[in-house]
Amino acid sequence: MPDEVERNRQTRTRLAFRVAVVGLAAAGVGWLLTSGIRAPSPAPSAETAQARPAPVPVPDRAAPRATVEESAQIQLVQGTTMHIDPHSLAPGDPLAIRLSLPPDASGMGIEATWLYGDNHDPTEIQAQRPGPGEVLIEYPAALLTPGRHIIELRTDEIGPIPLRRFAFEIP
């Protein structure tokens, strides 16, 4: 009888361990699947809706022009925020931006490039990779409004959240 009680105890212990492992694995898979989902932006108040310029249609995946490399005067570094003088922007022209990457990012690939701003919905654009240490993009003119702007590179790097973010502000 004592052997049967001991076997039952071992069986219950193994079963509890297996249930815990399966539960943790399910939680991990759930986290990975939902980590890319973002909460919707809060609805604008009546004041900001009236002060906001009429939205200009922007293509979902606008390809940068061939002249981006020559015209990219603004260089952003990950982890810093650059302040851009609004008077230095040419009205109606996209902003050519060069994103500096650290040396450890030379082999990474870019899966998507997203633009986030205080006054617009997230927008996906194309990016060019002319060399190992930089990425070139064109920030559409319709999205260049006062406020904070974030450029997010979603990469193929190995890690829990393979993102690189660059920020600038227009006062």
**Main-chain dihedrals φ then ψ at residue 7, nearest 5 degrees:** -65, -40
Contact 136, 98 (CB under 8 A): yes
Average pLDDT over residues 32-48: 51
Q: How far apart are CA 171 and CA 118, in angstroms?
A: 12
Amino acid at position 65, single letter? R
Closest CA to 49 of 116, 117, 119, 115: 119
Q: How confident is the model at residue 165 (pLDDT cuts 50, 70, 90)?
A: very high
Q: How confident is the model at residue 3 (pLDDT cuts 50, 70, 90)?
A: confident
Angle at 68 between CA 64 and CA 74, to 5 degrees: 115
Q: What is the pTM of this model?
A: 0.58
pLDDT at 54 over 70: no
82 C-beta neighbours (distance < 10 Å), count = 15
- Residue 6 pLDDT: 79
Residue range 61-170 forms a domain whose CATH class is: mainly beta
Angle at 145 between CA 111 and CA 84, to 5 degrees: 85
Q: How far apart are CA 81 and CA 56, in angstroms?
A: 26
| Residue-wise pLDDT tens digits, 82-130 | 999 988 888 889 999 999 988 877 778 889 999 999 889 999 999 998 8
Domain boundaries, the chain: 1-34, 61-170
Residue of higher predicted confidence among 42 and 4: 4
Q: How far apart are CA 153 and CA 111, in angstroms?
A: 8
Amino acid at position 135, single letter? V
What are the DSSP calls for 114-142, one per residue? EEEETTEEEEEE--EEEETTEEEEEE-GG
- Residue 35 pLDDT: 57
Least confident of 21-25, 75-79, 96-100, 155-159: 21-25
pLDDT at 15 over 50: yes
- Residue 30 pLDDT: 66
